Amino acid sequence: MQFLPIKRALLSVTDKSGLVELARFLAQNQVEIVSTGGTKRLLEENGIPVVSVSDVTNFPEILGGRVKTLHPHIHAGVLADKDNPEHLKTLEELNIKPFDLICVNLYNFAQAVEKSLDLKSAIEQIDIGGPTLLRAGAKNFHSLCVLPNPTFYPRFMTELKENGQISLGFRQEMAAYTFSMISDYDRMIANYLKVDG
């Protein structure tokens, strides 16, 4: 898919810089927004329409928030190849709507390390759902756009405003950045957990 219209977005971010502006822009462009936890609360506080992930999955957030987006009703909508009729047929049969935008950033593990948290507390700052969504979105950049960092929001909004769609070139750039970012994140965690000796 060369040019991607944006009709449905998943927003779940730790760094909320520029989030309200982005979400308001999406809502003004008739994009359905799905979200979780603190991101959802912030959008609601600013009068932006938002659907809870739990309403999409028909399953509550559990284990203190460790499990929220890890569900077929989310990941099938992220990983479906929109150029593959069989994928689209499966979504239709299972009543799953595809996503066009995944806007996610990660728990700040570096900050947890800087605060010298004990090991168990630091481990709670290791993001699982975020990297999973980002990797899925980056893998499927032919069919959706991943936005892994607020610094890219203005470019995304400009492209959508000027063209009504997001180009394959921008989506591939975001995918490459995403994989590099997750690699750095995992390396930081590995280094933290490494036992000398």
- Buried/exposed 54-88: b ≥16 CB within 10 Å, e otherwise: eebbeeebeeeeeebbebebbbbbbbbebeeeebe
CB 34 within 8 A of CB 69: no
Amino acid 173: pLDDT: 97
Contact 11, 33 (CB under 8 A): yes
CATH architecture group of domain 3-193:
3-Layer(aba) Sandwich (3.40)
pTM (2 d.p.): 0.89
pLDDT at 197: 41
> In the numeric block, which tokens belong to residue 110?
């570096």
Q: To the nearest 10°, the Cα dihedral for 116, 119, 120, 123?
A: 90
pLDDT score at 100:
97
Q: What is the mean pLDDT of each run of 10 residues along the chain (197 residues)?
A: 92 93 97 92 95 85 72 91 94 94 84 74 80 94 96 97 95 96 89 70
User: What is the domain partition of the chain in residue ranges?
Assistant: 3-193
pLDDT on residue 44 = 96
Based on its alpha-carbon atoms, the radius of gyration of the chain, rounded to whole angstroms, reads: 17
